[in-house]
Structure 1
Amino acid sequence: MLVPRIVTLLVAALAANAAPASESASSADSQITLDTELTLGVKQTPNIENDTAVDANQVAKGYDLVNVSSTARGLTGILKLKEATNLYGYDFDYLNLSVSYQSDERLNVHIEPVDLTDVYVLPEDLVPKPSVEGDVNSFDFDNSDLVFQYSAEDFSFEIIRQSTKESLFSTKGNPLVFSNQFIQFNTSLPKDHYITGLGESIHGFRQEPGVVKTLFANDVGDPIDGNIYGVHPFYSDQRYDTKTTHGVYWRTSAPQEVLIEEESLTWRALNGVIDLYFFSGDTPKKVISQYVNEIGLPAFQSYWTFGYHQCRWGYDSVDELQSVIDNFKKFNIPLETIWSDIDYMDSYKDFTNDPHRYPKEDFKKFIESLHENNQHYVPIVDAAIYAPNPNNQTDNDYPPFHDGIDSDVFLKNPDGSLYVGSVWPGYTVFPDFLANDTQDYWQKCFEDWYKDVPFDGIWLDMNEVSSFCVGSCGSGKLEENPVHPPFAVGDVPTKYPEGFEKTNASEYSSVQASISATASSSASSSSASSTSIDSKNTLAPGKGNINYPPYAINHFQGDHDLATHAVSPNATHQDGTLEYDIHNLYGYTQEVATHKVLLEINPNKRPFILSRSTFPGSGKYTTHWGGDNNSQFRDAYFSIPQILSLQMFGIGMIGPDTCGFNGQSSMELCSRWMQLSSFFPFFRNHNVLSANPQEPYVWSSVTDHSKQTINIRYLLLPYFYTNHYDTHTTGTPLMRALSWEFPNDRSLAGADRQFFVGDAILVTPVLTQGADTVKGVFPGAGKDEVYYDWYTYEKQDFEDGKNTTLDAPLGHIPLHIRGGYVIPTQEPGYTTAESRENPWGLIVALGVDKSAQGKLYVDDGESYEIEESLYVNFVAANNTLLSSSFGSYDASQPLANVTILGVDSKPKNVKFDGNSVDFSYENSTLFVTNLEQQTSDGAFAKQWKLTWN
C-alpha cells in the first residue's frame, strides 16, 4: 500500500492541514509531520539516460582465461584482467571460473573474485542453490543438450544446444567487466527474439527490444515499465525457428539492470558474483518447471484460498466489516474471506487493535462468527515496527518494540546505533531477519496477537523494505513520535472514474486545470531541495560507495536514489551484511520467518501468506498480489501479463486488486474486472482509502455479473485445485500464456490479452471501455484443435490463425473449452466448504479425434502434511469414458452428471457400469444425469465405465 509519488508531491505542503483519515488518526493535526526534506534523496541521473556516460563495452579490456583444468563435471580456470579501466568500480585482477554440468538439463557458470574480501556471495542456506545431480565425480557429457564453449584469449563463452547447434547464450565480442560495484556481461540474441521474464514490472508479457528492466525492490504504485515490488532475475528465450525454449537464471540479490536490444541482451549488477544457470527446456512449460523445481516449488494452498476475497483500505470499524459480510449475504454473492488493511490497528502499529473501532473482545467474536460460517479473516502486517515515544508512558507501552530491543533484532546504522526510518505510525525500526533471535521474536509477536485476533492468514506489506524518509531520519527524534507521514494519509483519488472526460468534458477540464496548477507549484517548490546531479557517485575501494554507487541504475523514484522510499543501502544487519547487498531479499526473509510462525501457531495447517515483495523461491512460502494498481482498463489488461510472469517465477497464487486500487472504479470497469479475475489464481477486490466503495453489491448489474462468474469459478474449484496441485508438485503454472500451450506458433508470441486456465479453459476478456465485442484467437482451430462455447456447449467454427470477433456485451465474458480434456466440477455453494459437500460433475470435451483425458486431485484441503489423498484419471475414447482412482481419501459425494461435448449423433442408449441411465441430447451435447444412485458410495470410490452407443 503506497501513496503514489505524484500524490506525495501534490499534497506534502498541505499535509499538516489535511483532514484526519480515520479515528485512529484523529490527532493528526496536533502531531509533528515528517519534514518533507527528509523524503528527498540525492538526485541521480540513471546511466541509461545520461548521454555522456561511458559505455563499458567500448572501453573495458576484459580478461584472458589461464590455468584451465578439466573436472568430472566441467572445468575450472583463472580469469586474468588484461588492463584496468575502473569505470564504475575498481576492477578485480583475478577471477575464478567454474563451469559445472549439474544435470542433463542444467549447466552452471560461476565467476567470482579470487579474493572475496568485501565481496558479497549469496549464502546457500539463505537462498537455495541448484546443485549437482547424481554422482558428483562423473558425468556423461554426451547426454547434455547444453554445451559450454569458450575462447581463452579475450575471454568469452558460449552455450550451444547440441541437438540444434544453435547458440543460446554468447558473450563473444563483448568484454567481461567485473569490479567491486559493477558487473556487466552481454549475450547476442537472434533478431525477432521472444524474451519473457525479468520481473517484476508492469509491462506486456514479451520483453521486446528497447526495454530496460531494473531489478530493485521498490515501493511504488505500479508504474508502467518501472521497477516495482519483486525481483526475479530469470528469463525464458523462446526460439521459433528451432522450436525450442531455454531459460537463464542469475542467482544474485544485487541491484540489477537488463537492457534488451534488437540482437543482444546486456546484464548489469552493482555487487555480488556471477552465478548463472542455464535450463535446456525445450518447451516453455518444461523450462518453467525446471527452473521452479530448483528455486522451490510453490506452496500448496488451502482449498478455501481459491474462494472470493473482499478487502479495502477504509473499513473503519468491526461493525463496518460486519455490514460488508451482511451485504454479501443479502445479495447472495459468495464470500470466502474478509480482509483488513491498516484500519484495524491502533495508530497504525503492528500487532495492535484500535480500542474504539476494533475492540479486542468484539473483534474476536466477529472472527469466531466468520469461522462458524466457514469463512475466513486475513489482516495486514507491515514490515516496520513502531518506535514509541520514551517520554510518553502510554505511547511507550508497546511490547513489539521493547521485546525487539531486548532481543537485539532490529537493523542498525553502520556505527551500531538503531536505524530509525518512518512508516505509517511514525518513526519506526525494522526487524533484521538475519539476526540470531529474530525468529523467536517474530514468533512471540504473532502468538501474543493471535490470542486476540485468530486470523486465518497474514498479509505482508511494505516489505521491499519501505521507509517514507531517506536514511535514519528518526535517530535522536523518538520523543517526537507519533510523527505523521509527510502526506495526507490515504490516496487522493481522482473524483471521477475513467471515461468521465467523454461525458462531462467541461467539469473534467476544470479539474485538470486545477491539478496542473498545483503540480506545477509543488514541483517548483521542491526542486531546490535536491542536490546537484551525480554529485556523490564516486569510486570507492573495498565494498565501494554503498549509498551512491558509481553506476546509477534506472530506479523508479523521482530522484532515482536507492534510499528513496526505502531503508538505506548502508543499513546494517547483525552479521555485518549491508542492506545494499540483500535489499532485494528483505521480503523473502520475512516470508520464510512468517511461514515458520504460522506453522507453529497452527501445526499441520497450510500457512496462507500474501506478500508484496518477492524473490526467486518466495513461492515456496507465499502468494502475491499485483500491488497498487489503478482503476483503469489498461491496468485490467496489465494484470494478465503480470500474473503470467509471476507464474513463471514460481508464485503459484497471484491476482490483482480487482476493480483497481487507486482512483475511482466505475460500474463498467468493475463488472469487466470482476468477471476477468474470476479466472485468476487469486481473486480479491481491494481499493484505497477515500475512494468510492467498489464491492460488487454497490451496483446491481455488477452484482449479477459477478455472481455469474463467481459461480463458474466455484463450479470449477476441483479443476483449479487439481491444477494448483500440479503447480505445487511440478512447477507447471495454473494460468498459462497461449505461447506456452502452442509453443510452435510464432503468431502467438505477443498474445497476452487471452489466457488458459490449465489446459482446457480459454478466457477472452473485454479490456476496452465501451466495447461490446472482443477479438480472440483460437490456436489450431479447424485443424488439430476444437473449441466449445462454455455457455452453450456448441462446437465453434473458428479458424486457426484468424482473429475472431466475439460478442461480449456487458456482463458476458467469452469462455471456451478446448477439446480433448475432461474437466471435474462440483456444484457451487456459498462458501468453498459448502461447495466441497455438493455432488460432483464432469464435462467431457471431445477433441478432433473424439477422445479426451483429464484428472482430479482431492484431499482434506488444508493439511500441511497430507496423509490421505485421492487421484482420479479420466480417459474418453471410442464412445467410452473410464474413471480410475487410487488413494485413501474418502470423497463421499456422489456423481450427479456427466456432460459430453462433441457427440455427433444422439445415442440409442447410455450405460453406467452396464446399467442404463437417464440422458438427453441437444446440439451435439450428451447430458447424462441422475447418477447419484449409481455412485452413492462416492463418485470415485471405485473404477467405473460410462458408454454411449
Structure 2
Amino acid sequence: MNEASNFCSGKCKIPKGQCPTGSGPGWVCCLDCKNITKTRWDEPPYKINASGLQVPIGFKTIATSATHYNGVLEYDAHSLYGFSQSIATHKALQGLEGKRPFILTRSTYVGSGRYAAHWTGDNKGTWEDLKISITTVLNFGLFGVPMVGADICGFYPAPTEELCNRWIEVGAFYPFSRDHANFYSPRQELYQWESVAQSARNALGMRYKLLPYLYTLNYEAHISGAPIARPLFFSFPTYTETYGLSTQFLLGSSVMISPVLEQGKSTVKALFPPGTWYSLFDLTQVIDSKQGKYVTLDAPLHVVNVHVYQNTILPMQQGGLISKAARTTPFNLVVTFPAGASNATAKGNLFLDDDELPEMNLGSGYSTYVDFYATVSQGSVKVWSEVQEGKFALDKGWVVEKVSVLGLDGSGGTSALEVDGNPVTSVSSIELSTSEQKYLEEAEDGEKTKSVMVDVDGLSLPVGKNFAVSWKMGIKA
C-alpha cells in the first residue's frame, strides 16, 4: 500500500488512447497534466523535502491544494489515505478469518504500528543506504511503528556481492527482515551468490535462534509501545557517547548488533557501554569495561558481531529452516552476570502464544508468560522461573534443555547441583561443564579478570511450570 499516487503532478486528464500503455515501467506519467501547484498549500513555508528534489509537496501525487468531499483539503488528508487502508484491511482480514493478520504497508501515519508492519520504501542498493537503513528503522520504532525493516540488498540499482553480504548481516536483525528488489532489477535472492548464502545462513541462523526473544519484544511493543530495535541510548541514557550513534543498535535492552557498513572492511570499530558484553556467536568471548570504550572487532566477510549485555537472561531455541519448525525445538537460557562478580542478579522474560490469535494477551488459555531470574551470591548460583498461565506451554510440550551461566568467578569446580530442590546424582543424564572465558582486551586498570561459563545440559524442565536449578562453585568469598 502506498499514498495515492499516479506519478503525475498537477491537474490531470485521461488522454485519448490507453493509459497506462501496458508496457514499460509503471512509474511513468501518461496523463495530460497542467501545473496548478503554486499555492500556499502546495508550497508552504516549511515544507518537507521527501523527494530530495526541492519540488512541491504534491510532486507525482495528488496536489495538496486539491479538495475532497465537504471541502477537505488534500493537504490535511494526504497521510490518512494509507493509514485508513491499513485499518480497513486489518478489520477485513480479521473479520474474514478470525486470525491475526499480517499487513505490510509503505504509507504510514501516527498509529499505523497498531495495524501494520512497515518497510522503508525504495532504498537504494548502495553502501550509503545500508548505513541510513539503521537510522530509519530506529526512527520508526520511536514513531510507534515497531515492526519495520528496509529492503535488504536494496530495491535498486543492483547491489554488489560484497554489499549484499553485509546487508543480510544487518537485515537479519531488523524487526521485519526481507530481501526485496525492483521487478526490473537483476535477481538478488540471497542464494544467487554462494558467499551471500553463507552470510545469510550465519546471520539468519542466529535470528531463528532468537525468535523467542524477538517474539517477546513484539509482545512488549504491543502492551507498552516500546520499540523492538532501539538506539543504544535507550538502555544507557546517562552514557553520552551513545547519543549520536547510529551505526549500531539494540534488539530490546540487551542484544547489540555492530555491523560492517563500509566497503572493503574486515574489522568494525564498535562502542561498548560500561559493563560486560558476551559474543552470542561464541559465549566464551568477553568484552568488559568499567567506563565504556570503543573496541575494534574482527569482522571478515561472513561475520557479524552480536553481543548480549550483563544481568540478562536470554531465552533462545535451536533454530530451523522455517519459524514453525524452530518453535518446536527445546529452549536454551543464556544467563549473563557481570564478569567475575561474586554477587549479582539477572532477569529475563518470555511470552508464548498461539500466534494466529487476533490479539497478543494473557488470560485466553492460549498463551503463557514466564519471568526468569538468576542470582550468584558467595559461591551459590541459582536460576529459576515464575510462570503465569502455564497450561498453554505445558500442552505444547516446550522444555528448557540447557542453561548457560556466563561471567562466574571461580577457580574451583562445581558441586551440589539441584533441580527443583532434588540433588542430581552421577547417574543422571544431566551434565555440568565449565569453560574458561577469553577477554578480547585488557581492563582499563590493568587487572586481569578471570571468569568461567557453566553449562547445565540434559535438562527437561517444562516451560509452563515453575522450576529452580542451583549449584555451588569454588568462588572466592
Of 257, 261, 268, which aligns to 1:767? 261
| Structure-1 separation of matches of 2:11 and 2:457 | 68
Correspondence for 2:19:
482
Correspondence for 1:469:
8
Corresponding residue SS for 1:568: coil
Correspondence for 2:69:
574
2:382 is aligned with 1:880:
yes
Cα pair 1:823 1:842 within 8 Å, conserved: yes
* Aligned counterparts, 1:318-329, within 5 A: none
Corresponding residue SS for 1:707: helix
| Structure-2 separation of matches of 1:743 and 1:819 | 16
2:469 is aligned with 1:946:
yes
TM-score by structure 1 length?
Answer: 0.43
Correspondence for 2:446:
none
| Structure-2 separation of matches of 1:877 and 1:676 | 33
Cα pair 1:491 1:690 within 8 Å, conserved: no
Q: Which has the higher contact order (CA 8 A, sep 6+)?
A: 1
* Aligned counterparts, 1:484-883, within 5 A: 484=21, 488-489=24-25, 537=38, 545=39, 548-549=42-43, 551=45, 553-557=47-51, 558=53, 560-603=55-98, 605-780=99-274, 785-799=275-289, 800-847=291-338, 848=341, 849-865=343-359, 866=361, 867-868=364-365, 869-878=367-376, 879-883=381-385
Correspondence for 1:907:
414
Corresponding residue SS for 1:669: helix
- Measure how far apart 1:561 and its partner are: 2.2
* Aligned counterparts, 1:430-469, within 5 A: 460=1, 462-463=2-3, 465-469=4-8
| Structure-1 separation of matches of 2:65 and 2:270 | 50
Identity %: 33
- Measure how far apart 1:874 and its partner are: 0.8
Cα pair 1:546 1:580 within 8 Å, conserved: no
Q: Deviations over 1:551-605 (max 9, x none)?
A: 47354454612332111224433343221221122211221111111112212x1
| Structure-2 separation of matches of 1:553 and 1:942 | 57
| Structure-2 separation of matches of 1:550 and 1:842 | 55
Cα pair 1:490 1:688 within 8 Å, conserved: no
Q: Deviations over 1:496-517 (max 9, x none)?
A: xxxxxxxxxxxxxxxxxxxxxx
**CA 1:671–1:909: 2 relative to 1, 3 Å:** farther
Q: Deviations over 1:142-186 (max 9, x none)?
A: xxxxxxxxxxxxxxxxxxxxxxxxxxxxxxxxxxxxxxxxxxxxx
Structure 1 regions of 5+ residues with no counterpart? Answer: 1-459, 493-528, 538-544
Corresponding residue SS for 1:762: strand
- Measure how far apart 1:688 and its partner are: 1.3
2:417 is aligned with 1:889:
no
Cα pair 1:763 1:814 within 8 Å, conserved: yes
Higher mean C-alpha deviation, range 752-761 or range 884-893: 884-893
Higher mean C-alpha deviation, range 546-555 or range 556-565: 546-555
| Structure-1 separation of matches of 2:263 and 2:257 | 18
- Measure how far apart 1:488 and its partner are: 4.5
Instruction: Read off the aligned partner of 1:481 and give its amino acid letter.
Output: Q
Correspondence for 1:921:
434
**CA 1:731–1:550: 2 relative to 1, 3 Å:** closer
Instruction: Read off the aligned partner of 2:95 and give its amino acid letter.
Output: E
- Measure how far apart 1:643 and its partner are: 0.8
**CA 1:547–1:733: 2 relative to 1, 3 Å:** closer
| Structure-1 separation of matches of 2:218 and 2:44 | 45
Cα pair 1:718 1:824 within 8 Å, conserved: yes
Correspondence for 1:334:
none
Larger radius of gyration: 1
Cα pair 2:42 2:65 within 8 Å, conserved: no
Corresponding residue SS for 1:675: helix
Cα pair 1:773 1:808 within 8 Å, conserved: yes
Cα pair 2:368 2:464 within 8 Å, conserved: no
Cα pair 2:314 2:348 within 8 Å, conserved: yes
| Structure-2 separation of matches of 1:845 and 1:838 | 22
**CA 1:641–1:687: 2 relative to 1, 3 Å:** same
Corresponding residue SS for 1:723: helix
Structure 2 regions of 5+ residues with no counterpart? Answer: 425-429, 437-451, 473-477
| Structure-2 separation of matches of 1:946 and 1:556 | 55
Q: Deviations over 1:368-424 (max 9, x none)?
A: xxxxxxxxxxxxxxxxxxxxxxxxxxxxxxxxxxxxxxxxxxxxxxxxxxxxxxxxx
- Measure how far apart 1:716 and its partner are: 0.7
Cα pair 2:331 2:402 within 8 Å, conserved: yes
Cα pair 1:546 1:569 within 8 Å, conserved: no
Cα pair 1:850 1:902 within 8 Å, conserved: no
**CA 1:874–1:774: 2 relative to 1, 3 Å:** same
Q: Deviations over 1:838-863 (max 9, x none)?
A: 11111111235432111111111120
Q: Deviations over 1:893-937 (max 9, x none)?
A: 2221111111223312432222423121112111111113xx3xx
Corresponding residue SS for 1:931: strand
**CA 1:843–1:589: 2 relative to 1, 3 Å:** same
Instruction: Read off the aligned partner of 1:644 and give its amino acid letter.
Output: L
Cα pair 2:416 2:423 within 8 Å, conserved: no
* Aligned counterparts, 1:212-227, within 5 A: none
Instruction: Read off the aligned partner of 1:922 and give its amino acid letter.
Output: S
Number of residues paired by the alignment?
Answer: 429
**CA 1:839–1:850: 2 relative to 1, 3 Å:** same
Q: Deviations over 1:199-233 (max 9, x none)?
A: xxxxxxxxxxxxxxxxxxxxxxxxxxxxxxxxxxx
- Measure how far apart 1:889 and its partner are: 1.8
| Structure-2 separation of matches of 1:821 and 1:765 | 22
- Measure how far apart 1:469 and its partner are: 1.5
- Measure how far apart 1:765 and its partner are: 0.3
Corresponding residue SS for 1:870: strand
| Structure-2 separation of matches of 1:801 and 1:721 | 30
Correspondence for 2:441:
none
Q: Deviations over 1:508-542 (max 9, x none)?
A: xxxxxxxxxxxxxxxxxxxxx998xxx975xxxxx
**CA 1:559–1:739: 2 relative to 1, 3 Å:** closer
* Aligned counterparts, 1:339-358, within 5 A: none
Q: Which has the higher strand share?
A: 2
Cα pair 1:547 1:563 within 8 Å, conserved: no
Cα pair 1:738 1:751 within 8 Å, conserved: yes
Corresponding residue SS for 1:930: strand
Cα pair 1:588 1:613 within 8 Å, conserved: yes
* Aligned counterparts, 1:120-139, within 5 A: none
* Aligned counterparts, 1:51-90, within 5 A: none
Instruction: Read off the aligned partner of 1:907 and give its amino acid letter.
Output: T
| Structure-2 separation of matches of 1:632 and 1:875 | 44
Cα pair 1:826 1:841 within 8 Å, conserved: yes
Could you say what the CA RMSD is over the residues aligned between the two structures, in angstroms?
2.4
Instruction: Read off the aligned partner of 2:155 and give its amino acid letter.
Output: F
Instruction: Read off the aligned partner of 1:943 and give its amino acid letter.
Output: N
| Structure-2 separation of matches of 1:548 and 1:697 | 45
| Structure-2 separation of matches of 1:725 and 1:844 | 21
- Measure how far apart 1:472 and its partner are: 4.3
